[in-house]
Amino acid sequence: MSRSILQELCEYIQQKPSSVLGNKFFDYRVALQADVSYKGDKFEPRIFVISKFRLFLLSGKSPSSLKIERSYHVLHIKSISVLNNEEVAIIFDETGHRKRYVIKSPQTTASAIVKHILAAFLRYFPDIGAQLRSLVELTPESYYEEFSSMNGDVAPRACHSFRRTYAALCDFYDQPYRDEVSWDVEKIYAVNRVRCLRIEDFSHLLPKDLLPITGVLQYSSYFTGLAADGIRMTSEVIDVIMSVIRKSRSLQHIQLRNCALPRDFITLFASALQQNPSIPLESIDFSKNVLDDKKGFVLLSNVLPRLTTLRQVNLSECGLSEKCSQLFCSGVYSALTAKSNCGTVSSLTHLNLSNNILKDDVSSLVNVVSLCTTLRVLDLTDTGFPLDKIWAALKYGGLQIEKLCLGGCNVGKKPADCVQLVKEFFSMAVNLSHINFANTLLPADLMKAMLLGLASNQQLKPFHLDISGTCEKTCSSVLEASLVGVQCSSLSLRDNNLETEMQAIVHALGNIKTLRRLDLGGANLLALRRSSKQAHAAVISKTILDVVKLFSDDSPLEELILSDARLGPHLSVLLNTLGAATSLRYLDISNNDLGHFGARILSKALELNTSLRTIVIDNNHLGVEGLYDLATAVNMNRTITSIPYPVQDVCECLTRAGCDRSRVLGAMTQIESCLERNRLPANAEMANFRITSGALDLGNPEKWNVVGEALSSAAEEPFPTRLEDMVDDFVEQARRECILNLQDTFARLRSESGDSPKTPGKAELIAVQRLKELWMDDIKRVYSDWRWREVCERSEAFVEKLGTSADGVSNTSVSQNGSPRQFMSPSTPRCTEPGHRPRSIIGDLQTPLGFRDEEPGISLDTPPQPSALVHLQKSRPRLQRRAGAHGQARQAQTNNEETPMSRSTDIEEEAQSNKSGDSGDGDMVVKKHPSERAGFRVAMLPDAAALSQAVLRSAADRAMSPKPESPGHSSALSSPGPSSSPRAAADSDSPPPLPHRMK
């Protein structure tokens, strides 16, 4: 074939490369006449073409007869050798078969051909320079240095030209090119500076489509991590990942969690690490994969000393046997004791071996803990680890540990021997911030040593302490005595079965001044809850009342968790005080069997509460009406911003027969819209108005007449225009200052004429607008808070000055509106705790915290129950019987007690009360409740709260009640005066006896 014909064919290929090479090869780098030798010295005329990332050898005598004889990807090149000025030898390795070609061209030199091939590498793999020596053998070696100084012939793309690398690897793995993959990486990863390739982002594609995506990490230094969670890995993807580990010089993090990795994965992983000593691996996470491979861990233990950059290892829930765990810890121990070639020692900071078996042979792990002073996180949860073997190691090497998770472990065979070590470690630790002993049964001595050590440690900042499910029967007294000095910010006491001892422990918790979060949920009162004894119900109610005291006005507690406690009606005691809570920000009462009526009490509390920001209420069987009441309450509340969606309650409502779906979904839509409203900055004004109204008790008419109108007008005042002008001036000054700081950047971007742009650019306009919006929102919020705090303080002082706090506010108004705060003079008898709702038929809600035992007719010994009905017609008195003197006296007393009262009697007593009140003797007259008057009949006043006492009071209490005395003595005791009151006349421990129903 003549040279002219070959030249014509080369020109044809240059003009129409896609018609000869294929649609994807629409351009070319070089097309040369060449003589190619396959074997020996025999050369044959061919056309040598480099197009994109492939090398082609074509043969033919005319354009129509051109065909591709050989085609190789640039990654198939294993060796390039310049034999002389005209000849170059190239070795290709495809599917394990090596082939050598000697190419010479009359149109160019051998060195030029080599540079064309290297330019193709640089264009599609711009970061390959660091590993070029390990991929391609170049002769002479000067080409390596020349490659590092070569400049790309095209502009780089986002993420180190991910699009080009991905396209080249799609051809290499024979997979179709997906444009959406390139778009996602260039737009999402680049904009958000994501350097870790998440395989789950592309899990919607075919499994083979993941091959080129994952393969990019072999040659790109942009990505420093590979992550996959819950993606089932095929063997082909595993092979590509191993190739990444063998070749990458930038991989720092690898996370393959719950990916159904093969059992021999550790063997493959260790072998790949052996072939890449330069990998800068920092974290390994293979959790939730079954990796019990002894052979693999033997290899891995030999490789770990080389990984001097390794910081974090997570092998949680990997089903490791004790032998595999021992081998791994031996490798870490070797890394700690052996120096690498560069003189550095491994500095492991995170070690997670949770949910694996570690019971007998743990000497290697103990050695690691004692030597690794850089360890910050140690997680041995649910391993059954014998803790008596680790305390000495922690004392010598673990004083810098920040997070210590020893839940689900075993205290060991001789826990008493390590009590002193436990106390010394917790008293000497300097960085502990998270301590977890959940579900590790601690003896009383060990518990005491831990708490006393923490109490004596003055170096620790407030930390999280989780001792859920740790208490033995004798630990309650230890907790009560030792928790006081522990300066923890978060404490969990779930599932400890404290029962009757819980009240004393709650009292002790009130003395922890740093406690911000408290978890008392789970099985702590379940046994008492299931009991039918009223004494047990009383314990529950008293315990909840003590819990209520923990978030009083001066309490630091901000988060309270009572989830899964199954308190039921007993929780109403807490809900009724919720309206007055001022410190609580987070409340979790999920799975407590509130029901519809509990939801109604909660909704009334939320209508008043101004402190809560988040409340969790799911799995409480709220029902449709409960959700609707909750929506109404959230609509009135201006401060709550988050209510996690009650999925279980909503599903329960929707699956119930005859459910009004539109009502349920409408209630949830209203809740979400109100929460979104509360998150907006514009809501701050109304929220502050609600807080001030609650603080000043504006539900009282006389207080409203004094300051109510002024507060309403203050709430409608617009934002001062002078402040808006000041914000505009400040934004202008900030704009000028920013422009001065950006002068250097502007100087590099000036036009050729040297003039800066006269009009502000789009970026400047956007920045100015954002500055104005941010500062305006912040200053409005701060100004609103400041203004309303001042208004509240001044209005309170003004109301007190006028005397309305002493004379204009009655106890009745407080109990009716349930305001968060009340103003009372010292001489006013205090009948109800401020902010607590009065009791209702749903629950006994009136008892104050401080005077529970002194309130007449009130008992929280049992949960609320339906009150008994007293029929008007069937309650007639029995016929009188003839009896002796004692019987006649008793009958006379009974008749006197059962004499029906008329409306005229009430009017007379009211008149007498008013008359005595006007006499000016200075004694306050307290009007008696009708139930305290002689001759009162229950049937005449069917008050639900009073009727419930017949159920709330046990038979034993009624039997212990004192016998009624003579009418004259009773009237003397009930006469109004400064030293007598209904509270003093009644028994402090039980309600007054109710008249017996007459048949």
**Out of 100-109, 474-483, 533-542, 899-908, least confident range:** 899-908
| Cβ contacts of 12 within 8 Å, gap of 6 or more | 20, 63, 66
Q: Which element (helix H / strand E) includes 492?
A: strand 488-492
Specify whether 386 is located in the same domain as 533: yes
The span from the CA of 277 to the CA of 669, in Å, is 58
The span from the CA of 75 to the CA of 54, in Å, is 9
Indicate whether 149 pLDDT > 50: yes
Q: Hey, how many other C-beta atoms are within 10 angstroms of the C-beta on 315?
A: 25
Please answer whether residues 238 and 262 qualify as being in contact, where contact means their C-beta atoms are separated by less than 8 angstroms: yes
**Out of 44-53, 602-611, 854-863, least confident range:** 854-863
Sequence-ordered alpha helix ranges (H) in 551-589: 572-577
Specify whether 648 is located in the same domain as 780: yes
- pLDDT category, 601, cuts 50, 70, 90? very high
CATH code assigned at 113: 2.30.29.30
3-class state of residue 681 by DSSP: helix
Q: What is the pLDDT of residue 690?
A: 62
Which tokens hold the place of 18? 């896609």
Alpha-carbon torsion (253, 256, 262, 266), positive or negative: positive
Please answer whether residues 306 and 333 qualify as being in contact, where contact means their C-beta atoms are separated by less than 8 angstroms: no
Specify whether 471 is located in the same domain as 566: no
Q: What is the pLDDT of residue 692?
A: 58
Q: What is the pLDDT of residue 722?
A: 78
The span from the CA of 364 to the CA of 362, in Å, is 6
Q: What is the pLDDT of residue 827?
A: 34
Specify whether 664 is located in the same domain as 765: yes
**Out of 604-613, 746-755, 889-898, least confident range:** 889-898
Q: What is the pLDDT of residue 185?
A: 95
The angle subtended at Cα 852 by Cα 846 and Cα 853, nearest 5°, is 135
**Out of 16-25, 448-457, 689-698, 911-920, least confident range:** 911-920
The span from the CA of 839 to the CA of 571, in Å, is 13
Q: What is the mean pLDDT of residues 220-240?
A: 95
Chain CA centroid to CA 731, Å = 37
Please answer whether residues 796 and 695 qualify as being in contact, where contact means their C-beta atoms are separated by less than 8 angstroms: yes
Q: Give the range of the structural domain holding residue 894, as residue numbers without chain letter.
A: 866-985
Q: What is the pLDDT of residue 713?
A: 62
pLDDT digits (tens, 9 = 90+) for 390-444: 999 999 999 999 999 999 999 988 888 899 999 999 999 999 999 999 999 999 9
**Out of 456-460, 519-523, 866-870, 958-962, least confident range:** 958-962
Give percent of the chain with pLDDT exceeding 70: 72
DSSP 692-735: HHHHHTTTSHHHIIIIIHHHHHHHTPPPPHHHHHHHHHHHHHHH
Q: Which element (helix H / strand E) includes 71?
A: strand 67-73
Which tokens hold the place of 828? 């006013």
Specify whether 506 is located in the same domain as 589: no
Which tokens hold the place of 772? 């104005």
| Residue 252: closest CA among 227, 217, 216, 281 | 281
Q: What is the pLDDT of residue 415?
A: 83
| Residue 290: closest CA among 261, 268, 254, 270 | 261
The span from the CA of 308 to the CA of 311, in Å, is 9
Q: Whose structure tokens read 């979104």? A: 676
DSSP 85-117: SSEEEEEEEETTEEEEEEEE-TTS-HHHHHHHH
375 forms beta bridges with none
Indicate whether 1 pLDDT > 80: no
Indicate whether 631 pLDDT > 80: yes
- pLDDT category, 330, cuts 50, 70, 90? very high
Is there a domain that residue 297 lies in?
A: no
Q: Whose structure tokens read 């997680």? A: 379
Is there a domain that residue 306 lies in?
A: no
Is there a domain that residue 313 lies in?
A: no
Q: Report DSSP state, residue 187.
A: I
DSSP 257-291: ES----TTHHHHHHHHHHT-TT----EEE-TTS--
Please answer whether residues 877 and 551 qualify as being in contact, where contact means their C-beta atoms are separated by less than 8 angstroms: no
Chain CA centroid to CA 591, Å = 19
pLDDT digits (tens, 9 = 90+) for 281-311: 999 999 999 998 899 999 999 999 999 899 9
The span from the CA of 364 to the CA of 329, in Å, is 5
The span from the CA of 980 to the CA of 737, in Å, is 75
3-class state of residue 396 by DSSP: helix
Is there a domain that residue 222 lies in?
A: no
Q: What is the pLDDT of residue 836?
A: 53
Please answer whether residues 274 and 303 qualify as being in contact, where contact means their C-beta atoms are separated by less than 8 angstroms: yes
DSSP 781-835: HHHHHHHHHHHHHHHHHHHHHHTIIIII--HHHHHHH--S-----TTS---S-TT
Q: Whose structure tokens read 């071996």? A: 353
58 forms beta bridges with 47, 68
Specify whether 568 is located in the same domain as 541: no
97-104 and 87-94 beta bridge pairing:
antiparallel
How many domains is the chain built from?
4
The span from the CA of 282 to the CA of 251, in Å, is 8
Please answer whether residues 60 and 119 qualify as being in contact, where contact means their C-beta atoms are separated by less than 8 angstroms: no
Q: Hey, how many other C-beta atoms are within 10 angstroms of the C-beta on 814?
A: 25
Please answer whether residues 553 and 579 qualify as being in contact, where contact means their C-beta atoms are separated by less than 8 angstroms: no
Q: Hey, how many other C-beta atoms are within 10 angstroms of the C-beta on 746?
A: 12
Helix 110-124 and helix 158-172, axial crossing angle in degrees, nearest 10: 110
**Out of 778-782, 787-791, 814-818, 975-979, least confident range:** 814-818
The last residue of one of the domains, among 852, 878, 900, is 852
Specify whether 31 is located in the same domain as 129: yes
Question: What is the average pLDDT value for the chain, to the nearest integer?
Answer: 79
**Out of 40-49, 397-406, 639-648, 876-885, least confident range:** 876-885
Is there a domain that residue 609 lies in?
A: yes
Is there a domain that residue 773 lies in?
A: yes
The last residue of one of the domains, among 103, 126, 154, is 154
The angle subtended at Cα 857 by Cα 852 and Cα 858, nearest 5°, is 35
119 forms beta bridges with none
Q: What is the pLDDT of residue 687?
A: 63
137 forms beta bridges with 79
Q: Whose structure tokens read 């407030």? A: 462
Chain CA centroid to CA 889, Å = 71
Q: What is the pLDDT of residue 715?
A: 60
3-class state of residue 519 by DSSP: strand
283-285 and 253-257 beta bridge pairing:
parallel
Indicate whether 352 pLDDT > 70: yes
Specify whether 651 is located in the same domain as 593: yes
Which tokens hold the place of 698? 């504006």
pLDDT digits (tens, 9 = 90+) for 101-115: 999 988 899 999 999
The span from the CA of 425 to the CA of 912, in Å, is 73
Indicate whether 862 pLDDT > 60: no
Give percent of the chain with pLDDT exceeding 90: 50
Chain CA centroid to CA 324, Å = 33
| Residue 311: closest CA among 278, 349, 275 | 349
- pLDDT category, 872, cuts 50, 70, 90? very low
The span from the CA of 697 to the CA of 715, in Å, is 16
The last residue of one of the domains, among 548, 571, 587, is 548
Specify whether 445 is located in the same domain as 570: no
Q: What is the mean pLDDT of residues 931-942?
A: 42
Going from the C-alpha of 677 to that of each of 641, 684, 773, the distances in angstroms are: 8, 10, 18
The angle subtended at Cα 970 by Cα 969 and Cα 976, nearest 5°, is 105
pLDDT digits (tens, 9 = 90+) for 802-833: 654 444 433 333 333 333 333 333 333 333 44
403-405 and 434-436 beta bridge pairing:
parallel
Q: Classify 691 in phi/psi space as left (phi over 0), alpha (psi -120 to 50) or beta.
A: alpha
Q: What is the mean pLDDT of residues 79-102?
A: 90
- pLDDT category, 709, cuts 50, 70, 90? low
Indicate whether 152 pLDDT > 70: yes
| Residue 122: closest CA among 80, 177, 74, 166 | 74
Q: Report DSSP state, residue 153.
A: S
Rg of the Cα atoms in the chain? 41
Q: What is the pLDDT of residue 857?
A: 39
Q: Whose structure tokens read 């550790």? A: 266
Residues in the chain: 999
- pLDDT category, 651, cuts 50, 70, 90? very high
Helix 623-636 and helix 661-679, axial crossing angle in degrees, nearest 10: 20
| Residue 253: closest CA among 163, 131, 350 | 350
Is there a domain that residue 579 lies in?
A: yes
Q: What is the pLDDT of residue 64?
A: 84
Please answer whether residues 363 and 394 qualify as being in contact, where contact means their C-beta atoms are separated by less than 8 angstroms: no
The span from the CA of 589 to the CA of 577, in Å, is 14
Specify whether 667 is located in the same domain as 787: yes
Indicate whether 337 pLDDT > 80: yes
Q: What is the mean pLDDT of residues 790-798?
A: 67
Is there a domain that residue 469 lies in?
A: yes
Distance between the two ends of the chain, CA-based, in angstroms? Answer: 130
Chain CA centroid to CA 270, Å = 35
Specify whether 65 is located in the same domain as 138: yes
| Cβ contacts of 130 within 8 Å, gap of 6 or more | 221, 249
CATH code assigned at 420: 3.80.10.10
Specify whether 440 is located in the same domain as 531: yes
Q: What is the pLDDT of residue 861?
A: 41
